[in-house]
Structure 1
């Protein structure tokens, strides 16, 4: 099972990649979801806007777009596009470090692939709780 991190026309300061890959594998195990592959593509706002328009018919900037590529609901094969521009802006907006916000978004994408949604207030609250739970597990309770 491969987990990849690719930077597309952006600078990516992602530390401890081996630790993060192991953590993501564990996240899927904890959620009872099989994982065959995961590819994170870190990109610009403009690049992600084009993906959002082309594949989802959304003409808005977003921090993340997640695609499930597997035919088997038990096994995840996913592509997750993350806008580094949004991560930087949101970190400032929410008063957290860029590293913290980057990991929140990385976990958010994985949680989507585990079946979590964020369309309703209730779903959004559960997603936020799961993000926080994973941030605490990953970074420790700082």
Structure 2
């Protein structure tokens, strides 16, 4: 089950049925099925509070992914700051919806075991994001 909720922001205007199908397709392409995924769209203040409380990080970010994946079935809670998504989109010169989709699938890719912090991992993550976005056909 894939759920979308908000905390202090309006729900983004996206086709969530299509996004659910896309997430399942991307997960399957990495050898996983989809269990319970919960997305919480929020503002910068909320994600900063979440980052401090659960990860002891004192900075803003676009997404925090809590991983509950077990035995080939991805599961997790993802907190996405729409403020940071908007500022990143503007800074990168890309559309807001496009950047939001990238962040949504970024969390799924983490749950599929793709990391982005170590040497060479960022490039692998970006390639995986780009392949997933091609599936969505933005």
TM over 0.5: yes
Cα displacement string for residues 107-140 of structure 1 (whole angstroms, at most 9, x for unaligned residues): 1000000001011241000000111111122125
Over residues 26-67 of structure 1, what are the superposed CA-to-partner deviations in whole Å (9 max), with x where a residue is unaligned?
A: 111111013211111000111011111111111010000000
44-53 vs 73-82, which moves further = 73-82
Report the Cα distance in structure 2 between the residues aligned to 1:54 and 1:115, rounded to whole angstroms: 24
Structure 1 residue aligned with 2:24:
25
TM (normalized to structure 2)? Answer: 0.95
Aligned to 1:117, the other structure's residue is in SS state coil
CA–CA distance in structure 1, aligned partners of residues 87 and 119 of structure 2? 23
Pairs aligned (count): 138
Q: How far off is 1:73 after superposition? A: 4.0
Unmatched runs of 5 consecutive residues or more in structure 1: none
Out of 87, 90, 93, the residue aligned to residue 92 of structure 1 is: 90
Q: Secondary structure at the match of 2:75?
A: strand
Q: Which moved more, 1:10-19 or 1:111-120?
A: 10-19
From 70, 74, 77, give the equivalent of 1:76. 74
**Gap runs ≥5 in structure 2:** none
User: Post-superposition shift, 1:16?
Assistant: 1.2
CA–CA separation in structure 1 for the residues paired with 2:91 and 2:109? 23
Query: How well do the aligned residues superpose, as a CA RMSD in angstroms?
Result: 1.2
Between the aligned partners of 1:31 and 1:14, the Cα distance in structure 2 is: 28
**Distance between the aligned counterparts of 2:98 and 2:119, measured in 1?**
23
Tell me how far apart the structure 2 counterparts of residues 24 and 14 of structure 1 sit (CA, whole Å).
17
Matches within 5 A, 1:1-142: 2-70=1-69, 72-140=70-138
